[in-house]
Structure 1
Amino acid sequence: MIQNADLSILHAIQGAASPALDTFMVGFTTLGEFGALWAIIGAIMIALNKHRTFGIAIFVAIALAFVIGDIGLKNIIERPRPFLVDPALMTSLVSLPGSFSCPSGHTSSSFAAATVICLAPLAHRWLKPIAVAAAIAIAFSRLYLAVHNPTDVVLGALLGIACGCIAVCIVNTIESRRKGRQA
Protein backbone atom coordinates (compact mmCIF):
# COMPACT_ATOMS: atom_id res chain seq x y z
CA MET A 1 0.00 0.00 0.00
CA ILE A 2 2.77 2.47 0.94
CA GLN A 3 4.77 1.40 -2.13
CA ASN A 4 1.77 2.10 -4.39
CA ALA A 5 1.33 5.57 -2.87
CA ASP A 6 5.06 6.25 -3.25
CA LEU A 7 5.00 5.20 -6.91
CA SER A 8 1.91 7.32 -7.62
CA ILE A 9 3.65 10.38 -6.17
CA LEU A 10 6.80 9.69 -8.20
CA HIS A 11 4.79 9.32 -11.42
CA ALA A 12 3.01 12.62 -10.67
CA ILE A 13 6.39 14.33 -10.20
CA GLN A 14 7.63 12.78 -13.45
CA GLY A 15 4.64 14.35 -15.20
CA ALA A 16 6.05 17.79 -14.39
CA ALA A 17 9.53 17.04 -15.78
CA SER A 18 11.18 19.53 -18.14
CA PRO A 19 14.71 20.10 -19.47
CA ALA A 20 15.14 23.14 -17.21
CA LEU A 21 14.02 21.20 -14.13
CA ASP A 22 16.23 18.29 -15.18
CA THR A 23 19.28 20.56 -15.07
CA PHE A 24 18.23 22.17 -11.79
CA MET A 25 17.54 18.84 -10.07
CA VAL A 26 20.74 17.18 -11.27
CA GLY A 27 22.61 20.21 -9.91
CA PHE A 28 20.99 19.94 -6.49
CA THR A 29 21.53 16.19 -6.33
CA THR A 30 25.20 16.76 -7.19
CA LEU A 31 25.51 19.33 -4.37
CA GLY A 32 24.17 16.71 -1.97
CA GLU A 33 26.53 13.97 -3.13
CA PHE A 34 28.57 12.75 -0.14
CA GLY A 35 27.35 15.81 1.80
CA ALA A 36 29.69 17.97 -0.34
CA LEU A 37 27.81 21.26 0.01
CA TRP A 38 27.46 20.76 3.75
CA ALA A 39 31.11 19.75 4.21
CA ILE A 40 32.17 22.98 2.48
CA ILE A 41 29.88 25.02 4.75
CA GLY A 42 31.19 23.16 7.82
CA ALA A 43 34.79 23.81 6.75
CA ILE A 44 34.03 27.53 6.26
CA MET A 45 32.45 27.73 9.73
CA ILE A 46 35.51 26.06 11.24
CA ALA A 47 37.90 28.33 9.31
CA LEU A 48 36.04 31.49 10.35
CA ASN A 49 36.49 30.30 13.96
CA LYS A 50 33.48 32.26 15.30
CA HIS A 51 31.19 29.25 14.76
CA ARG A 52 33.89 26.60 14.89
CA THR A 53 31.88 24.38 17.26
CA PHE A 54 28.91 24.35 14.87
CA GLY A 55 31.18 23.66 11.88
CA ILE A 56 32.47 20.60 13.72
CA ALA A 57 28.88 19.68 14.59
CA ILE A 58 28.03 19.64 10.87
CA PHE A 59 30.71 17.01 10.28
CA VAL A 60 29.55 15.00 13.32
CA ALA A 61 25.92 15.20 12.12
CA ILE A 62 26.80 14.05 8.60
CA ALA A 63 28.88 11.20 10.01
CA LEU A 64 26.05 10.12 12.33
CA ALA A 65 23.54 10.23 9.46
CA PHE A 66 25.86 8.16 7.29
CA VAL A 67 26.57 5.52 9.92
CA ILE A 68 22.98 5.20 11.12
CA GLY A 69 21.30 5.60 7.72
CA ASP A 70 23.60 4.35 4.99
CA ILE A 71 25.48 1.68 6.91
CA GLY A 72 22.74 0.71 9.37
CA LEU A 73 19.16 1.30 8.30
CA LYS A 74 19.59 0.78 4.56
CA ASN A 75 20.99 -2.69 5.19
CA ILE A 76 18.28 -3.53 7.73
CA ILE A 77 15.33 -2.23 5.69
CA GLU A 78 16.71 -3.42 2.31
CA ARG A 79 14.14 -1.47 0.28
CA PRO A 80 14.75 -1.55 -3.48
CA ARG A 81 15.07 1.67 -5.45
CA PRO A 82 11.85 2.85 -7.13
CA PHE A 83 13.23 2.36 -10.64
CA LEU A 84 13.82 -1.31 -9.80
CA VAL A 85 10.22 -1.72 -8.67
CA ASP A 86 8.85 0.25 -11.66
CA PRO A 87 11.29 0.44 -14.61
CA ALA A 88 9.22 3.27 -16.12
CA LEU A 89 10.85 5.49 -13.46
CA MET A 90 14.40 4.76 -14.66
CA THR A 91 16.39 7.88 -15.50
CA SER A 92 19.49 8.54 -17.56
CA LEU A 93 20.10 11.92 -15.91
CA VAL A 94 22.27 10.51 -13.11
CA SER A 95 24.18 7.34 -12.37
CA LEU A 96 21.72 4.95 -10.81
CA PRO A 97 22.66 4.05 -7.23
CA GLY A 98 23.30 0.41 -6.46
CA SER A 99 22.57 0.65 -2.74
CA PHE A 100 19.23 0.19 -1.03
CA SER A 101 16.75 3.05 -1.04
CA CYS A 102 15.63 3.73 2.51
CA PRO A 103 16.50 6.15 4.04
CA SER A 104 17.77 8.72 1.56
CA GLY A 105 21.40 9.52 2.38
CA HIS A 106 21.37 12.81 0.45
CA THR A 107 18.33 13.86 2.46
CA SER A 108 19.62 12.73 5.86
CA SER A 109 22.98 14.48 5.47
CA SER A 110 21.29 17.64 4.14
CA PHE A 111 18.78 17.85 6.96
CA ALA A 112 21.48 16.97 9.51
CA ALA A 113 23.63 19.90 8.39
CA ALA A 114 20.67 22.28 7.96
CA THR A 115 19.53 21.44 11.50
CA VAL A 116 22.97 22.31 12.88
CA ILE A 117 22.91 25.59 10.96
CA CYS A 118 19.44 26.37 12.32
CA LEU A 119 20.67 25.74 15.88
CA ALA A 120 23.78 27.90 15.43
CA PRO A 121 23.69 31.45 16.85
CA LEU A 122 24.31 33.08 13.48
CA ALA A 123 24.36 36.87 13.16
CA HIS A 124 23.02 36.45 9.62
CA ARG A 125 19.78 34.66 10.47
CA TRP A 126 18.73 34.70 6.80
CA LEU A 127 21.22 31.87 6.25
CA LYS A 128 19.00 29.48 8.23
CA PRO A 129 16.03 29.43 5.81
CA ILE A 130 18.48 29.19 2.92
CA ALA A 131 20.02 26.07 4.50
CA VAL A 132 16.56 24.56 4.98
CA ALA A 133 15.55 25.45 1.41
CA ALA A 134 18.75 23.82 0.09
CA ALA A 135 18.05 20.67 2.12
CA ILE A 136 14.49 20.55 0.80
CA ALA A 137 15.68 21.08 -2.79
CA ILE A 138 18.25 18.29 -2.45
CA ALA A 139 15.61 15.99 -0.96
CA PHE A 140 13.12 16.82 -3.70
CA SER A 141 15.77 16.22 -6.37
CA ARG A 142 15.96 12.61 -5.19
CA LEU A 143 12.22 12.25 -5.84
CA TYR A 144 12.37 14.10 -9.16
CA LEU A 145 15.11 11.75 -10.34
CA ALA A 146 13.12 8.77 -8.95
CA VAL A 147 16.10 7.33 -7.10
CA HIS A 148 14.15 7.41 -3.82
CA ASN A 149 10.58 6.92 -2.73
CA PRO A 150 8.81 9.75 -0.87
CA THR A 151 8.84 7.72 2.35
CA ASP A 152 12.62 7.21 1.96
CA VAL A 153 13.02 10.98 1.81
CA VAL A 154 10.73 11.58 4.81
CA LEU A 155 12.65 9.03 6.89
CA GLY A 156 15.93 10.60 5.71
CA ALA A 157 14.74 14.06 6.77
CA LEU A 158 13.66 12.82 10.21
CA LEU A 159 16.94 10.95 10.67
CA GLY A 160 18.89 14.03 9.60
CA ILE A 161 17.06 16.32 12.00
CA ALA A 162 17.71 13.88 14.86
CA CYS A 163 21.40 13.55 13.92
CA GLY A 164 21.77 17.34 13.71
CA CYS A 165 20.30 17.77 17.19
CA ILE A 166 22.44 14.97 18.62
CA ALA A 167 25.59 16.38 17.00
CA VAL A 168 24.99 19.83 18.48
CA CYS A 169 24.45 18.27 21.93
CA ILE A 170 27.63 16.20 21.62
CA VAL A 171 29.79 19.09 20.44
CA ASN A 172 28.32 21.54 22.98
CA THR A 173 28.94 19.04 25.81
CA ILE A 174 32.56 18.54 24.74
CA GLU A 175 33.05 22.30 24.38
CA SER A 176 31.54 22.95 27.85
CA ARG A 177 33.82 20.34 29.44
CA ARG A 178 36.82 21.83 27.66
CA LYS A 179 35.98 25.31 28.89
CA GLY A 180 35.34 23.93 32.40
CA ARG A 181 38.84 22.44 32.50
CA GLN A 182 40.36 25.73 31.36
CA ALA A 183 38.60 27.76 34.07
Structure 2
Amino acid sequence: MIQNADLSILHAIQGAASPALDTFMVGFTTLGEFGALWALLAVFMITAGKHRSYGFAILAAIALVVIFGEIGLKHLIARPRPFLLDPSLATTLIDLPSSYSCPSGHTASSFAAATVLCLAPLARRWLKPVAVGTACIIAFSRLYLAVHNPTDVLFGAVLGIACGVAAVAIVRKIAEALQNRKAQA
Protein backbone atom coordinates (compact mmCIF):
# COMPACT_ATOMS: atom_id res chain seq x y z
CA MET A 1 0.00 0.00 0.00
CA ILE A 2 2.80 2.47 0.90
CA GLN A 3 4.71 1.45 -2.22
CA ASN A 4 1.68 2.16 -4.40
CA ALA A 5 1.31 5.63 -2.84
CA ASP A 6 5.03 6.26 -3.31
CA LEU A 7 4.84 5.29 -6.99
CA SER A 8 1.74 7.45 -7.53
CA ILE A 9 3.56 10.47 -6.09
CA LEU A 10 6.61 9.81 -8.29
CA HIS A 11 4.40 9.59 -11.40
CA ALA A 12 2.74 12.89 -10.46
CA ILE A 13 6.17 14.52 -10.11
CA GLN A 14 7.21 13.08 -13.48
CA GLY A 15 4.18 14.81 -14.99
CA ALA A 16 5.75 18.18 -14.15
CA ALA A 17 9.12 17.39 -15.78
CA SER A 18 10.68 19.91 -18.16
CA PRO A 19 14.12 20.45 -19.71
CA ALA A 20 14.81 23.40 -17.39
CA LEU A 21 13.81 21.40 -14.31
CA ASP A 22 15.86 18.45 -15.57
CA THR A 23 19.01 20.61 -15.60
CA PHE A 24 18.20 22.20 -12.24
CA MET A 25 17.49 18.88 -10.50
CA VAL A 26 20.53 17.11 -11.95
CA GLY A 27 22.64 20.03 -10.71
CA PHE A 28 21.29 19.80 -7.19
CA THR A 29 21.47 16.02 -7.04
CA THR A 30 25.12 16.28 -8.13
CA LEU A 31 25.81 18.75 -5.30
CA GLY A 32 24.51 16.12 -2.90
CA GLU A 33 26.76 13.29 -4.16
CA PHE A 34 28.68 11.80 -1.22
CA GLY A 35 27.75 14.88 0.82
CA ALA A 36 30.34 16.78 -1.26
CA LEU A 37 28.75 20.24 -0.94
CA TRP A 38 28.47 19.83 2.81
CA ALA A 39 31.95 18.38 3.21
CA LEU A 40 33.41 21.36 1.32
CA LEU A 41 31.46 23.73 3.55
CA ALA A 42 32.77 21.87 6.61
CA VAL A 43 36.37 22.15 5.41
CA PHE A 44 35.85 25.88 4.82
CA MET A 45 34.46 26.30 8.33
CA ILE A 46 37.38 24.37 9.82
CA THR A 47 40.01 26.36 7.93
CA ALA A 48 38.29 29.72 8.50
CA GLY A 49 38.49 29.00 12.21
CA LYS A 50 35.53 30.92 13.64
CA HIS A 51 33.11 27.98 13.68
CA ARG A 52 35.71 25.22 13.47
CA SER A 53 33.86 22.90 15.87
CA TYR A 54 30.71 23.08 13.74
CA GLY A 55 32.74 22.22 10.65
CA PHE A 56 33.90 19.11 12.49
CA ALA A 57 30.30 18.47 13.53
CA ILE A 58 29.21 18.51 9.86
CA LEU A 59 31.88 15.93 9.03
CA ALA A 60 30.85 13.84 12.05
CA ALA A 61 27.18 14.08 11.04
CA ILE A 62 27.98 12.89 7.51
CA ALA A 63 30.03 10.02 8.97
CA LEU A 64 27.09 9.03 11.18
CA VAL A 65 24.81 9.07 8.12
CA VAL A 66 27.21 6.78 6.27
CA ILE A 67 27.53 4.38 9.20
CA PHE A 68 23.86 4.20 10.18
CA GLY A 69 22.21 4.91 6.82
CA GLU A 70 24.42 3.66 4.01
CA ILE A 71 26.14 0.77 5.80
CA GLY A 72 23.46 -0.18 8.30
CA LEU A 73 19.84 0.64 7.50
CA LYS A 74 20.07 0.50 3.71
CA HIS A 75 21.15 -3.15 3.85
CA LEU A 76 18.79 -4.02 6.70
CA ILE A 77 15.75 -2.55 4.92
CA ALA A 78 16.93 -3.67 1.44
CA ARG A 79 14.23 -1.73 -0.41
CA PRO A 80 14.57 -1.74 -4.20
CA ARG A 81 14.78 1.52 -6.13
CA PRO A 82 11.45 2.73 -7.58
CA PHE A 83 12.66 2.43 -11.19
CA LEU A 84 13.25 -1.29 -10.58
CA LEU A 85 9.62 -1.74 -9.53
CA ASP A 86 8.30 0.49 -12.31
CA PRO A 87 10.72 0.73 -15.26
CA SER A 88 8.76 3.67 -16.72
CA LEU A 89 10.32 5.78 -13.94
CA ALA A 90 13.91 5.07 -15.08
CA THR A 91 15.75 8.23 -16.11
CA THR A 92 18.59 8.78 -18.53
CA LEU A 93 19.55 12.09 -16.88
CA ILE A 94 21.91 10.45 -14.37
CA ASP A 95 23.54 7.08 -13.85
CA LEU A 96 21.03 4.93 -12.04
CA PRO A 97 22.23 3.89 -8.59
CA SER A 98 22.67 0.19 -7.91
CA SER A 99 22.38 0.35 -4.11
CA TYR A 100 19.19 -0.04 -2.10
CA SER A 101 16.76 2.83 -1.86
CA CYS A 102 15.93 3.44 1.80
CA PRO A 103 16.99 5.71 3.40
CA SER A 104 18.07 8.36 0.91
CA GLY A 105 21.75 9.12 1.55
CA HIS A 106 21.67 12.42 -0.35
CA THR A 107 18.77 13.55 1.81
CA ALA A 108 20.23 12.26 5.07
CA SER A 109 23.63 13.92 4.59
CA SER A 110 21.99 17.18 3.47
CA PHE A 111 19.65 17.33 6.45
CA ALA A 112 22.47 16.31 8.80
CA ALA A 113 24.61 19.23 7.64
CA ALA A 114 21.68 21.67 7.58
CA THR A 115 20.80 20.64 11.15
CA VAL A 116 24.36 21.32 12.33
CA LEU A 117 24.25 24.74 10.67
CA CYS A 118 20.89 25.50 12.30
CA LEU A 119 22.41 24.69 15.70
CA ALA A 120 25.52 26.81 15.07
CA PRO A 121 25.69 30.37 16.43
CA LEU A 122 26.13 31.94 13.00
CA ALA A 123 26.30 35.72 12.70
CA ARG A 124 24.85 35.42 9.20
CA ARG A 125 21.54 33.88 10.26
CA TRP A 126 20.26 33.86 6.68
CA LEU A 127 22.60 30.91 6.05
CA LYS A 128 20.36 28.66 8.13
CA PRO A 129 17.25 28.84 5.89
CA VAL A 130 19.53 28.67 2.84
CA ALA A 131 21.01 25.41 4.18
CA VAL A 132 17.57 23.97 4.93
CA GLY A 133 16.26 25.07 1.52
CA THR A 134 19.26 23.51 -0.22
CA ALA A 135 18.72 20.27 1.70
CA CYS A 136 15.05 20.28 0.65
CA ILE A 137 15.90 20.84 -3.02
CA ILE A 138 18.51 18.06 -2.95
CA ALA A 139 15.92 15.76 -1.34
CA PHE A 140 13.30 16.69 -3.93
CA SER A 141 15.79 16.11 -6.75
CA ARG A 142 15.95 12.46 -5.68
CA LEU A 143 12.16 12.22 -6.16
CA TYR A 144 12.22 14.17 -9.41
CA LEU A 145 14.81 11.74 -10.79
CA ALA A 146 12.78 8.81 -9.36
CA VAL A 147 15.79 7.20 -7.71
CA HIS A 148 14.06 7.24 -4.30
CA ASN A 149 10.54 6.82 -3.02
CA PRO A 150 8.99 9.68 -1.03
CA THR A 151 9.15 7.56 2.13
CA ASP A 152 12.88 6.93 1.52
CA VAL A 153 13.43 10.68 1.38
CA LEU A 154 11.31 11.28 4.48
CA PHE A 155 13.24 8.61 6.37
CA GLY A 156 16.51 10.13 5.12
CA ALA A 157 15.49 13.57 6.43
CA VAL A 158 14.64 12.17 9.87
CA LEU A 159 17.89 10.19 9.98
CA GLY A 160 19.87 13.26 8.89
CA ILE A 161 18.32 15.49 11.54
CA ALA A 162 19.06 12.87 14.23
CA CYS A 163 22.67 12.51 13.03
CA GLY A 164 23.11 16.29 12.94
CA VAL A 165 21.85 16.70 16.51
CA ALA A 166 24.01 13.76 17.70
CA ALA A 167 27.11 15.14 15.96
CA VAL A 168 26.72 18.56 17.56
CA ALA A 169 26.28 16.93 20.98
CA ILE A 170 29.38 14.76 20.45
CA VAL A 171 31.54 17.66 19.25
CA ARG A 172 30.35 19.87 22.13
CA LYS A 173 31.24 17.13 24.65
CA ILE A 174 34.69 16.72 23.10
CA ALA A 175 35.29 20.50 23.13
CA GLU A 176 34.14 20.69 26.76
CA ALA A 177 36.45 17.82 27.75
CA LEU A 178 39.38 19.48 25.98
CA GLN A 179 38.69 22.80 27.73
CA ASN A 180 38.51 21.04 31.12
CA ARG A 181 41.80 19.29 30.41
CA LYS A 182 43.42 22.57 29.40
CA ALA A 183 42.12 24.28 32.55
CA GLN A 184 43.55 21.50 34.74
CA ALA A 185 46.99 21.66 33.10
Whole-Å Cα distance in 2 between the matches of residues 114 and 85 of structure 1? 31
State the shift of 1:112 in Å: 0.3
What's the CA shift for 1:22? 0.1
Separation in structure 1 between the aligned mates of residue 20 and residue 138 of structure 2, nearest angstrom: 16
Q: Provide the C-alpha distance between the structure 2 equivalents of 1:134 and 1:66, rounded to a whole number of angstroms.
A: 20
Query: Gaps spanning 5+ residues in structure 2: where?
Result: none
Give, in whole Å, the separation in 2 of the partners of 1:42 and 1:115.
Answer: 13
TM-score, L = length of structure 1: 1.00
Letter in 2 for 1:75: H
Q: 1:96, CA displacement in angstroms?
A: 0.2
Deviation readout 1:107-134 (Å, 9 max, x if unpaired)? 0000000000000000000000000000
Alignment of 1:23-102 (within 5 A): 23-102=23-102
Structure 1 runs, 4 residues or longer, greater than 3 Å off? none
What is the match of residue 104 of structure 1? 104
Give the count of matched residue pairs: 183
Specify the alignment match of 1:139 in structure 2: 139
- Cα distance, 1:164 vs structure 2: 0.1
Tell me the equivalent position of 2:149: 149
Please report how far the alpha carbon of residue 11 of structure 1 lies from its aligned counterpart in structure 2 after TM superposition: 0.2
Secondary structure of the corresponding residue to residue 161 of structure 1: helix
Residue identity (%): 72
- Distance in 2 (alpha carbons) for counterparts of 1:136 and 1:67: 22
Partner of 2:159: 159
Match of 1:15 in 2: 15
TM-score, normalised to structure 2, is 0.99
Which one-letter code corresponds to 1:106 in the other structure?
A: H
CA distance in 2, matches of 1:41, 1:129: 15
- Please provide the CA RMSD for this pair: 0.3
Is the partner of 2:96 in helix, strand or coil? coil
SS in 2 for 1:102: coil
